Amino acid sequence: MKPYIVAVFNQKGGISKTTTSTNLAVCLAAYGKTVVVIDLDSQGDSTKSMGIDPNVKRGIYDLFVGNAEVNDIIIPTPFENVRILPSTYSLAGIEIRLSELKDSQRTLVHILSRLELDADYVIVDCPPALGILPINALAAAQAVIIPVTATPYANDGLMRTLPSIKYVQEGLNKSLLLQGVLFTINDNNKTTRKINDLIRHRLGGTVYRTEIPRDNMVIEAATARLPVCIYDPHSPAALAHLDFTGEMLDRHIKIAAKASITLPPVCPREQALANLERWSERHMVNVDRPTGDRLRQKKAQLDRLLYGDRTPFERFHLDVIHFFIDNRLYLVAFIAAVFLLVGILLGMGVGGVKMLLQATGLM
């Protein structure tokens, strides 16, 4: 049977496309599936996160320009049943090369149709922005997953991404299905909840039940060049990725059933978790857990990615605003109450204030 090709796409950068792709890949393998990851990003983040040196000689670029076939460049990863079509830095120049070719938006479709990939799932990690590579991914995929992070800009990313998917559905790939929207890097505060609720309300059942929490273990794992599901299978983010994969598999089984296709059952969650634990034990023996400055830098980098380059004052300002939103306080009413209190205290004079403090036991 042909593999189910899933593109992981959002035009916005830094919202966990690569983290979702790599963890989805190892979790699918843990559920007993065979997987191929396609790294379509010249940054090579998913190649690196799968423990592969991005300086491999040949990769996706060579496939796109016809210098190689899939079997020449596909490589096994250290994780059972997961292989990768790696990215190389030369991929950055692909736009110009492809623009010279005919039917360049379907290059990946043609490449994949030349050979029966021996895999149940193909996961395509897309670069941010809408260029020729994501268009190729969406043209070749049966389904697309959109990771979304509930920052004040989350809606912008979605508003730019959904029309791009529609554009592909109306022309290049009429059978492309929006498999689901996944909330990622979820901060645990009321503002995040509100943004998520708003998007859930708009998109209904398209949004996966599982949400991936913000978890420093993911950053540690990325710094050690491993998916968090291998780095620490019991961390909150790893368990959420496992649950999301289960949900994604359920959706696929239901979608296939509608087309009268019966997919083989997947192994139970406990078994999948046990597989991740086993692989983790094997890999973590050789891994130095990153600490100190490098980790702090990565965390600061993530903050900048999510919230922009704000000065400490701007951050304080934002925190104050969030405090008022979270606690349902009206700023004007709050300031008026403070002025009233100060007025009363001034009116009472020093003696009056002393009396008040004594009466309330504060003096």
Work out whether strand 82-85 and strand 75-76 pair parallel, antiparallel, or are unpaired: antiparallel
Shortest Å, Cβ 45 to Mg ion? 5
Binding map of ligand ATP across residues 285-304, x = CB under 6 A, - = no contact:
-------------x---x--
Work out whether strand 35-39 and strand 82-85 pair parallel, antiparallel, or are unpaired: parallel
Contact assessment for residue 302 and residue 219, using Cβ atoms and an 8 Å cutoff: yes
Which residue in the set 31, 42, 45, 73 belongs to the binding site for Mg ion (CB under 5 A)? 45
Running DSSP on this structure, what letter comes out for residue 182?
E
Token duo for residue 60:
């996706």
Residue 173 touching Mg ion (CB under 5 A): no
Rank residues 120 and 211 by Cβ distance to ligand ATP and give the closer one. Answer: 211
Residue 16 touching ligand ATP (CB under 6 A): yes
* Enclosing H/E stretch for 26: helix 17-30
d(Cα 6, Cα 296) in Å, to the nearest integer? Answer: 33
Residues 6+ apart with CB under 8 A from 340: none
Rank residues 68 and 154 by Cβ distance to ligand ATP and give the closer one. Answer: 154
Stretch that binds Mg ion, among 37-45, 64-72, 219-227, 303-311 (CB under 5 A): 37-45
Strands (E), 99-206: 121-125, 143-149, 177-186
Running DSSP on this structure, what letter comes out for residue 327?
T
Beta bridge partners, 145, equal 8, 180
Which residue in the set 3, 5, 6, 19 belongs to the binding site for ligand ATP (CB under 6 A)? 19
Binding map of ligand ATP across residues 127-166, x = CB under 6 A, - = no contact:
xx--------------------------------------
Residue 211 touching ligand ATP (CB under 6 A): no
Shortest Å, Cβ 44 to Mg ion? 9
Rank residues 68 and 146 by Cβ distance to ligand ATP and give the closer one. Answer: 146
Residue 185 touching ligand ATP (CB under 6 A): yes
145-167 burial, b for 16+ CB within 10 Å, e for fewer?
bbbbbbbeebeebbeebbebbee
Which residues contribute to the site for Mg ion (CB under 5 A)? 17-18, 45
Per CB under 6 A, residues contacting ligand ATP are 13-19, 41, 45, 127-128, 184-185, 212, 214-215, 218-219, 222, 237, 298, 302
